[in-house]
Amino acid sequence: MDAMATIEQFWDRPDAVVVLGSAVVALFLVVSRPVWRVSRNVVTIAHEGGHALFALLSGRRLSGITLHSDTSGVTVSRGRTTGFGMVLTGFAGYVAPSLLGLGGAVLVAAEQIRPLLWVSTALLVAMLVMIRNVFGVISVVVTGGIVFAVSWFATQPVQDAFGYLVCWFLLLGGVRPVWELQRKRVRGRAPSSDADQLARLTGVPGTVWVLVFGAVALACLYFGGLLLVDM
């Protein structure tokens, strides 16, 4: 199938406007600096949630999660300070939003948008138990409340549009923090970043880890985007 036929097939879909419109809105949420200062909190929740989940999966003991108003966050876990579990925990943060976006795109492509919203709500509730500061609680409660309200009260077309928006936002929003991280590293403003901690753990330069973060984010954006536009 040539490119023009593929584009025509996309526009023949009844939800083509929803798919494209949600992508445009998500892109605005990511590229607009004033809006990004607020919307980035959602990415931070996903980032710290990734650290927390993989800390548990690797056998570490989760102590708590703190989310700050400057969109930074800290996840504290107990266990060995070296080894594969620590590396996996450190690696998970920057790739978590993109992987969640890809997983969401799989559910959306399977027309399972309501389960996507329910799973998202459940994950946020589980994360809320480990939040250790007031701003973090407010951020997670507001985010979870919005997702739950859409899943419970909204009509199916609204749920569909919201599901696409969430996926596009996570896929696009997973890319920008990686670029921001490297900018901070170049300026010497992130000596304890995930990439630099991984460098100390593995001996692999921090810049290589940033490139890996970026490669995962871009791969998820590409494959997730294909699923969402069904091409």
- Digit-coded pLDDT (tens) for 7-56: 666 666 768 899 999 999 999 999 999 999 999 999 999 999 999 999 99
> Which residues make beta-bridge pairs with 64?
76
Whether residue 4 is contained in a domain is answered as: no
How many separate domains does the chain show?
A: 1
Write the pLDDT tens digit of every residue in 109-139: 999 999 999 999 999 999 999 999 999 999 9
What is the pLDDT, as a whole number, of residue 11?
A: 64
What is the pLDDT, as a whole number, of residue 15?
A: 80
Whether residue 11 is contained in a domain is answered as: no
Distances from the Cα of 39 to the Cα of 42, 91, 111, 230, angstroms: 6, 22, 26, 26
* 195: containing domain: 16-229
Whether residue 190 is contained in a domain is answered as: yes
What is this structure's pTM?
0.94
Write the DSSP string, 72-126.
-EEEEEES-SSSHHHHHHHHHHHHHHHHHHHHHHHHHHTT-HHHHHHHHHHHHHH
